[in-house]
Amino acid sequence: MPLLSADPAAFPAEPPADTRDPAVTAAHDWAAFSALDEMTDHWARPGWADGSRAYYWMLTFPDNQQLATLAGHCQEKLAPLGLDPVPANGLHITLARVGKPGAVAPDQLDSLARSVEARLPSTFSIRAMPLAGSRGAVRLSLGPWEPLLRLHHALADAGSSNGLAPKKPTSAFRPHLSLAYNNRRRPAAPVVQVVSALRALPSVDLSVATVQLVELRREGRTYRWDVRKSIPLG
């Protein structure tokens, strides 16, 4: 299992001191977010214009009403800021990018899925909350990170064995669950202030029993996807 390493492209750039303790990872997320001077436009991402598509490994939670309720409450409080809320049926944890549809053949996806199935760890649970953020989003902290890192490592290993190594290695993975995307450059302080008032809300438990290979697409200022493979954990 590779250790996390500092990466200026990740957020937070420095890894937390302990990936097994949810309190440590949450405090680390908050320290990084609350120290921001400015937030950036999430949608100003090279190669992700409206209509763009790519295959990703993700965790989705379509049946978790507690998560949807928490997200909706936070989004209501964030609404005056003009962020782009993630729809209740669009809540997800991004794990790893696989590639673009034009560059990845269907038989490669089949082979990748078989390789992943042989490597997946056992079912696990994580906790979502408290609220924090990044340069381009307001998001829930997750913990513990350790099972998510093991899952990411399994996906990355399977991808590498099929010529589809993810762009970001596990050492740069920073698990999170976004609730709203920032859509313009702005001072961070007003967003941090609103988020700070929401950090005491109860956490939500998330059971992770399957991982989804999806064809993700950007539709305006939101993400949608079609599930191509849904693979149960061991």
pLDDT in tens, 113-143: 999 999 999 999 999 999 999 999 999 999 9
Within a domain: residue 15?
Answer: no
Q: What is the pLDDT of residue 2?
A: 55
CA nearest 218: which of 46, 40, 10, 102? 46
Alpha-carbon distance of 191 to 121, in angstroms, equals 37
Q: If you average pLDDT over every residue of the chain, what do you get? A: 96
Residue 16: pLDDT band with limits 50, 70, 90: very high
Q: At residue 117, what are phi and psi to the nearest 5 degrees?
A: -55, -35
Alpha-carbon distance of 216 to 224, in angstroms, equals 6
Within a domain: residue 79?
Answer: yes
- Counting DSSP H helices and E strands in the chain, the numbers are 5, 11
Within a domain: residue 16?
Answer: no
pLDDT in tens, 96-109: 999 999 899 999 99
Amino acid letter for position 71? A
pLDDT of 1 over the 80 cut: no
Instruction: For tokens 């909706």, name the residue.
Output: 72
- Give me the domain span that covers residue 81: 22-232
Structure tokens at 6: 């500092």
pLDDT in tens, 23-67: 999 999 999 999 999 999 999 988 889 999 999 999 999 999 999
DSSP designation for 223? E
Query: What total number of domains does the chain contain?
Result: 1
Within a domain: residue 7?
Answer: no
Within a domain: residue 8?
Answer: no
Within a domain: residue 5?
Answer: no
pLDDT of 212 over the 60 cut: yes
Alpha-carbon distance of 129 to 145, in angstroms, equals 13
Q: At residue 107, what are phi and psi to the nearest 5 degrees?
A: -70, -25
Structure tokens at 5: 């390493």
User: Contact, 104 vs 98, CB < 8 A?
Assistant: yes
Within a domain: residue 4?
Answer: no
pLDDT of 192 over the 90 cut: yes
Residue 71: pLDDT band with limits 50, 70, 90: very high
CATH of the domain at 215: 3.90.1140.10
Within a domain: residue 163?
Answer: yes
